Amino acid sequence: MAHERGGPATRAGALVAGLLAGPLGDDLGEAQRAARAWYAANGDRERAHTTGVWLRKPPRAGADPVMVVRVDSGLLASELGTNKDLYLSRLSFHGVRVSDIRFDVGQMPAAASRPPRTRQAPEKAARPQRELSPGERDRVERACAQLPDGLRQSVSRAMCASLLKEKSHTTQED
């Protein structure tokens, strides 16, 4: 199939994988590599509805981590869950080993989508608010700059959510 400009059509997954396989993907952590594999291994539909990807600690010592994929639809989460083995196989093909994959429903985490509230419960106010550093935001922007408009926002949101989730786990473990 040819593009409007006469060139060959490029699948978005190939574009994302190629972009992050280079120097931009070098300093990614384990969770970001897993998110990159999720986007590379799946089609436009899965990518368009993914709002975050992260890893949870393994259920037992020595096991591989559990991948959590947040999507924007309960119906889609259920559908993806029935094909769990297919997704595990695809991830394995892309070099990511996980013991299980869970599909969660929700939008991007609140910390990434809106400014902090001015009034917070006292116990929440004591915790430091985690945000992406300017360097992390810049890295996400560079990684997404060459993506098509329809995909750029979704991938950017997912990468930000993954980085924020990883930071929250780091904070809880400290």
Both structure tokens of 65: 């981590």
How, if at all, do strands 66-71 and 100-105 pair?
A: parallel
pLDDT digits over 36-65, tens only?
889 888 888 888 898 888 899 988 888 999
**Confidence band, pLDDT 50/70/90 cuts, at residue 121:** very low
Beta bridge partners of 54: 68
**Is there a contact between 164 and 112 (Cβ–Cβ < 8 Å)?**
yes
Per-residue pLDDT, averaged over 135-164, amounts to 80
Domain ranges of the chain: 28-108+133-141+148-173
What is the model's pTM? 0.51
What confidence score (pLDDT) does residue 25 get?
52
What confidence score (pLDDT) does residue 21 get?
55
